[in-house]
Every structure is written in structure tokens, then in C-alpha cells.
Amino acid sequence: MTRAGIFKKGMQLTLSQDMAYKWNFLITVIATMFKDFIGPLIIILIYTSTSGIPGWSLYEFLLFQGTLTLVFGFGHFAFVQIPAKVISGVRRGTFDKYLLKPVDTLFYLTAIATDWDGLGQVAVGLALIIFAFIKLNLAISLNFWIYVLLILVAFIFQYAIMVLISALTFLIVQSWALLDLFFKISDFARYPSSVYGVGLRFMLTFFFPIAISAYYPSIVLINGFSIKLLLEAVIPVFVFFILSLYVWKLAMRKYTSAGG
């Protein structure tokens, strides 16, 4: 079977799993979408009763939030089940079955990681982006295509994080705690890096480049870009990505040697 074939099969499989309880699936999707509308609702409450967040008009902020929802929604849809499968697999001792497959383990895990609930979140993100895009009178210009490109880089960051968490499951602690920790830290991405102090902003760009999730794409779409800005947005993500693949390799080596 080709790699694309495996991917397709994996997606079919997860779809039928998610559909096992149809009502629950439907309600879960609605719940996810509802949850993602709460963020914008709070922002509207803030903007109607205060002057808002400095440097961002209401619609600019909604664009920011839509981008964030899209990126995290895609992470939820495509990648979040990777660490989930690893954690429960290692706990139950069923992880070895992934190692027996005749394809690369990480590829196989990615192929079966689709979580269809995430589509609702992606839809909410897209809806918010389109709404804000129209309200802000933006055009499909070069800025827009750079915006799209940065969102793709943000997807890569989502993947890198999930791979890193999966790897750390072998190396540090076998629990959901790491995944929770990531979601806690990712709360920093909920607001533009510009509201934080210089030190924090530096961390969120270079050390844990989560500012790529919404901050960098949005300011490029709204204000335009410079080469320097793009480099500081993109390079840390790729460094992070390579690092996480390396840690995964390390973890795999450790796991197989312990089992053999």
C-alpha cells in the first residue's frame, strides 16, 4: 500500500470510529464549535464596554482569533491524537503493535491520528476569518498569500509540538500531564504578543515559538511584512520542528532497546 493509501485508510478508519456513537459525535462537534465561539463573544464584551486592546480594532482582533482557532482546530483535527495514541499505548502496553508495522512508526501514527471533531473548530476559525476579512476590507494581495504561508508554518509547529510531547512520554513521564501543560502554555497565544512585556514576547517568539499560531500571520495580513519579521517568525519554528523529530528518534531508540 502506498503512503497516500495508508493515510486514506487511516482517515476512513477514524471516521467510522468517531461515528460509532453518532449522536455523541454530533453533540461533540457542536460543543467544540460552541466553545470556540465563546472566545470571540468575550472579546466583543470587552470591546463594547472598554476601549479594547491597544493596537487592535475589534475586527482585527477577531481575525487574530479566527486564525488561532483555525490553527489549533487543525492541530486538533490532524495531530492531537498522536500523543493520545502514544500515551494510552505505552500505558496499556499496546504501543509495540505500531512498531511492527512495515512503515515508519511516526508516519503510521500520523496517518491514524485524524480526529474528526476538530473539523468543527476549523470551520469556526474559517468563518471568523472570512467575517473579519470582509469587515476589514482586506484584499487578496501578496500579504494574503504570505498569511496563508505562515498559517502552514503554524500547522508545522502544531505537528512539532505533538511529536515532542509523544517523544517526551517515553523519556520523562507517561501521562496526559504534558499535553495539559502544553495547552496551558498555549493560552499565551490567545492574545497578541504585543500585550505582553518584552521578555515574554521574546520567549514566545524564539524559545517556544507559539506566537506563530496567530500573532505573526495576523499582523502580516493587517500591516504587511518585512523580511526580518518573516525570518523571526519562521526560523524558530523550523528549529523547533527539527529538534522534536530528533527527540522522537532518541525516544524510539530508547524504547526499542528497553523492549528487546
Binding site for another protein (CB under 8 A): 21, 23-32, 34-35, 38, 41-42, 45-46, 48-54, 173, 175-178, 180-181, 184-185, 187-188, 190-191, 195-197, 200
Contact 36, 119 (CB under 8 A): no
Alpha-carbon distance values, 151 to 91, 94, 119 (Å): 34, 35, 16
d(CA 137, CA 132): 8
Residue 208 sits at φ, ψ, to 5 deg, of -130, 85
Quick one: 11 or 185, whose CB is closer to another protein?
Answer: 185
Quick one: 35 or 253, whose CB is closer to another protein?
Answer: 35
* Type and span of the H or E element at 89: helix 81-92
State the nearest-atom distance from the C-beta of 52 to another protein, in Å. 7
Quick one: 153 or 162, whose CB is closer to another protein?
Answer: 162
State the nearest-atom distance from the C-beta of 70 to another protein, in Å. 19
Quick one: 101 or 190, whose CB is closer to another protein?
Answer: 190
Residues 6+ apart with CB under 8 A from 81: 14, 112, 113, 114, 115
State the nearest-atom distance from the C-beta of 63 to another protein, in Å. 18
For residue 217, the one-letter residue type is P
Quick one: 135 or 190, whose CB is closer to another protein?
Answer: 190
Alpha-carbon distance values, 249 to 45, 103, 105 (Å): 47, 15, 10
State the nearest-atom distance from the C-beta of 180 to another protein, in Å. 5
